[in-house]
Chain A
Amino acid sequence: MSNPTTPVLEPDVDIRPATEQAKPWKTVVFNDPVNLMSYVSYVFQAYFGYSTEKAHSLMLEVHENGRSVVATGGREAMERDTQAMHEYGLWAACQPETGSD
């Protein structure tokens, strides 16, 4: 039972407005001269579970436009995806969705 006279330790909680929590984030993959087209396609299929066609077209977008948004969602999920891309050696970033893509 709690005793109201005991001082209560306030948990250190990161409070953000609900709108910010809901704000979508994106995982962007950038082009570089090292990553092989076959390897990038493989990563998009194996990690994201994308079809051969979708992985191929995203890979071409990276190659031709210099970048491609490969996933969107909550910040934590996009940070996880970016970290995974870094483990594969792809050059990726997690950024807030600005509507410009």
Chain B
Amino acid sequence: MAAIDARGDDVVLKLEDNERSLMLTVFTDLAALLAEDDNEDGRPDSENWEARLGLVDRPRPQDPALLRLFPDVDPLDEERSKEFRRLTEFDLQQAKAHNVRIVLNGLAKGPSIALSHDEVLAWMKGLNDLRLVLAVRMGIDTEEAQEEKYAQRDDLDESEDLTLTLYDFVTWIQDRLTTTLLSDLPGDDDE
């Protein structure tokens, strides 16, 4: 069973082998999803200066999971959303991919993963992005849909039941990591 403890300034996450290999698989998938709309000429992102400078239009994602990760800046203003996507989406994609890399590096450390404050933050964001994708894949787009999914749990097919179990597992890790960082914030000194 996974466990999360503070050790000095670090947070230590302990994962069973099967938990760690599952996380490696799903975060590798997330890294691939984030890299999906990379430039077609095979250049690494670091050399794609047109995208960096916001010189090329970036199409609005067709995949609802990607659209949830890269939302319109204003759902009521198509023109401004298009311009904003051109100017900023590359940076957002880089930031999200960076968080996922930090998670994958952590998972490669072994069963006991010591994380600095910044790494914990990257993990929280990466876990949140993973949960957003899993939720879209399971059709959880409202709180009602979520309740319904849990109510039907006994009737779900095996793969959906596994996805929901994974979702609960990463939710638990994200919530525990968040609680750890919340207790470090200045506003909580007197608690």
Contact = CB atoms under 8 A, between A and B. Distances in A.
Interface string B96-114: 1000000000000000000
Contact of A93 (B74, B142, B188): B74
A46 B77 CA distance: 29
Contacts of A45: 182, 185, 187
A19 to B, nearest CB: 18
Interface residues of B, number: 39
Contacts of A34: 128, 131-132, 135, 140
- B contact patch SS: helix
Given A42-B181, A46-B185, A87-B95, A33 B142 contact: yes
A38 interface: yes
For chain A, the bracket of interface size reads 20 to 34
Interface in B115-142: 124-125, 128-129, 131-132, 135, 140-142
Interface stretch (B1-9, B16-24, B34-42, B63-71): B63-71
Contacts of A39: 124, 128, 174-175, 178
Contacts of B171: 36
Given A45-B182, A89-B128, A38 B175 contact: yes
B136 to A, nearest CB: 9
Contact of A87 (B72, B96, B131): B96
Nearest to B88: A83
Contact of A33 (B125, B141, B174): B141
B146 interface: yes
B145 interface: yes
A89 B99 CA distance: 12
A93 B71 contact: yes
25 contacts: A32-B141, A33-B135, A33-B140, A33-B143, A33-B146, A34-B140, A36-B174, A38-B175, A42-B124, A42-B181, A42-B182, A45-B185, A45-B187, A46-B185, A52-B187, A79-B88, A83-B73, A83-B91, A86-B69, A87-B96, A88-B125, A89-B69, A89-B125, A92-B71, A93-B75
Given A38-B179, A91-B68, 20 more contacts: A31-B143, A32-B141, A36-B174, A38-B175, A39-B124, A39-B175, A42-B124, A42-B178, A46-B181, A82-B73, A83-B73, A83-B88, A83-B92, A86-B70, A86-B71, A86-B92, A87-B96, A89-B129, A89-B132, A93-B74
Nearest first, the 6 A-B pairs at minimum CB distance are A52-B187, A89-B128, A33-B146, A38-B178, A33-B143, A34-B135
Interface of B: 68-77, 84, 88, 91-92, 95-96, 124-125, 128-129, 131-132, 135, 140-143, 145-146, 171, 174-175, 178-179, 181-182, 185, 187-188
